[in-house]
C-alpha cells in the first residue's frame, strides 16, 4: 500500500510528493489519536457492562487477557443494536471490547468466549494500529489521485493543442490507485482476521467454540435482511472484495487446529441444554472446558 501511494505521489508531484505523502500520513495518524476512546464509545452509544452483574463474562475476559499477556483486562461494553456484532477498540494500555446486545442474547457462554478470544487477539496483535495506518495510507492515496486528476483536467487545453504529452499507462495508474490500495487494505484485513482466529483458538483452547460462534454469526447475517425484504435472488460480493474471509474458510482453518474433520462442522449441532442456557446463568466455567478458573 505504501509503495502504491509513494509511486502515485511521485508521478503527481515528483520526489517532493513522496515526502508530502509521508508527512501527511503521519500527521493524519497523530491527529486521529486525539479522538478519545470515550468519545468514540459515546458516539456509538456503547454502555459499560458492570463486573458485578456480569462476573462470568469478566472471568472469561480476565483469563484470556492473562494468556494473551495483556497488562489490563479489556473493559466490556454493550451496544444496543439489532445486528449481531463485536469489535475491539482502544489499545493494550486501555483495551475495550464492545458486544452488541443481540450477540449477548443470542450466543451461549462458550461461543461468547470464542468471540472474546478473537477480539482480544486483535488487541494482542496490534491489529487496531495496523488497520488505522492502512486507513490513513488509503486516504492519502485517494487525495494524491484526486490531485493528479485535477491537474490533468486543468492541463486539457495544453493537451488538445499538443503542447503537453502524456502516457496512458501512468494516467490509468493514478486514476485506479485508490481502488488498488483499497483492495490491498481488504486483503490485509482478511489476513489479520485469519491470524486472530488462530490466536483466539490458542487463547481459549477451544477452537470448536469459536467455530460455532462464527457459524451462528454467518447464519444470522445471511437471513437478517430477508426478515425485511423478499428477494428473488441473493448476491454476495466475491471474497477479494470483503474485509473478512468467507466463514467456511475460517471454520475449516480453525477446525484444522483440533484435528477434527471439517465435515463434522457442517451441521454445527451442540447439545440443546448448552445452547438454551441464559447468558448470565450460573453455568460458570465448567462448560468452557478449556478455560480453568
Q: What's the pLDDT score for residue 237? A: 63
* 48 membership: H or E segment, kind and range: strand 46-48
Classify residue 207 by burial, with Cβ atoms within 10 Å: 0-12, 13-18, 19+: buried
Q: What's the pLDDT score for residue 122? A: 96
Global confidence as pTM: 0.79
> How confident is the model over 140-199, as pLDDT tens digits?
999 999 999 998 888 888 877 877 777 788 889 999 999 999 999 999 999 999 999 999
Q: What's the pLDDT score for residue 30? A: 72
Q: What's the pLDDT score for residue 9? A: 92
Sheet with 75-79, edge to edge strand ranges: 46-48, 75-79, 95-100, 86-90
Residuewise pLDDT in 10s, the chain (293 residues): 989 999 999 998 888 888 888 888 777 777 666 566 777 788 888 999 999 999 999 999 999 999 999 999 999 999 998 889 999 998 888 999 999 999 999 999 999 999 999 999 999 999 988 998 898 899 999 999 999 999 888 888 887 787 777 778 888 999 999 999 999 999 999 999 999 999 999 999 999 999 999 999 988 887 765 555 555 455 566 766 788 889 999 999 898 876 644 334 443 433 333 333 333 333 333 333 344 33
Under 8 Å CB-to-CB from 102, ≥6 apart: which residues?
Answer: 81, 82, 83, 84, 85
Q: What's the pLDDT score for residue 39? A: 77
Q: What's the pLDDT score for residue 109? A: 93
| CA 36 to chain CA centroid, nearest Å | 20
Whether the Cβ atoms of residue 9 and residue 144 lie closer than 8 Å to each other: yes
C-alpha cell at 152: 490533468
Q: What's the pLDDT score for residue 20? A: 87
What structural domains does the chain harbor?
35-124+205-225+236-293 (3.30.2010.10)
Amino acid at each position: 500500500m505504501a509503495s502504491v501511494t509513494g509511486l502515485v505521489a511521485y508521478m503527481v508531484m515528483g520526489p517532493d510528493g513522496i515526502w508530502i505523502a509521508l508527512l501527511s500520513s503521519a500527521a493524519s495518524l497523530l491527529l486521529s489519536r486525539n479522538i478519545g476512546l470515550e468519545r468514540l464509545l459515546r458516539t456509538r452509544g456503547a454502555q459499560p457492562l458492570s463486573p458485578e452483574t456480569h462476573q462470568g463474562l469478566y472471568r472469561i475476559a480476565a483469563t484470556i487477557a492473562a494468556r494473551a499477556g495483556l497488562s489490563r483486562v479489556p473493559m466490556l461494553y454493550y451496544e444496543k443494536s439489532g445486528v449481531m456484532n463485536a469489535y475491539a477498540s482502544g489499545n493494550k494500555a486501555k483495551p475495550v471490547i464492545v458486544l452488541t446486545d443481540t450477540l449477548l442474547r443470542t450466543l451461549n457462554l462458550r461461543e461468547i468466549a470464542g468471540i472474546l478470544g478473537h477480539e482480544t487477539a486483535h488487541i494482542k496483535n496490534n491489529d487496531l494500529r495496523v488497520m488505522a495506518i492502512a486507513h490513513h495510507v488509503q486516504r492519502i492515496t485517494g487525495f494524491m489521485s484526486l490531485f493528479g486528476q485535477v491537474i490533468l483536467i486543468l492541463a486539457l487545453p495544453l493537451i488538445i493543442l499538443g503542447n503537453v504529452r502524456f502516457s496512458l499507462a501512468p494516467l490509468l495508474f493514478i486514476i485506479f490507485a485508490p481502488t488498488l490500495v483499497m483492495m490491498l487494505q481488504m486483503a490485509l484485513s482478511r489476513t489479520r482476521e485469519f491470524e486472530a482466529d488462530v490466536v483466539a483458538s490458542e487463547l481459549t483452547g477451544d477452537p470448536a467454540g469459536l467455530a460455532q460462534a462464527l457459524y451462528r454469526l454467518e447464519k444470522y447475517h445471511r437471513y437478517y435482511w430477508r426478515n425485511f425484504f423478499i428477494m428473488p435472488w441473493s448476491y454476495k460480493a466475491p471474497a477479494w472484495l470483503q474485509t473478512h474471509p468467507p466463514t467456511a474458510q475460517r471454520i475449516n482453518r480453525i477446525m484444522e487446529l483440533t484435528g477434527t474433520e471439517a465435515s463434522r462442522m457442517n451441521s454445527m449441532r451442540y447439545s440443546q441444554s448448552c445452547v438454551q442456557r441464559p447468558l448470565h446463568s450460573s453455568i460458570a466455567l465448567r462448560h468452557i472446558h478449556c478455560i480453568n478458573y
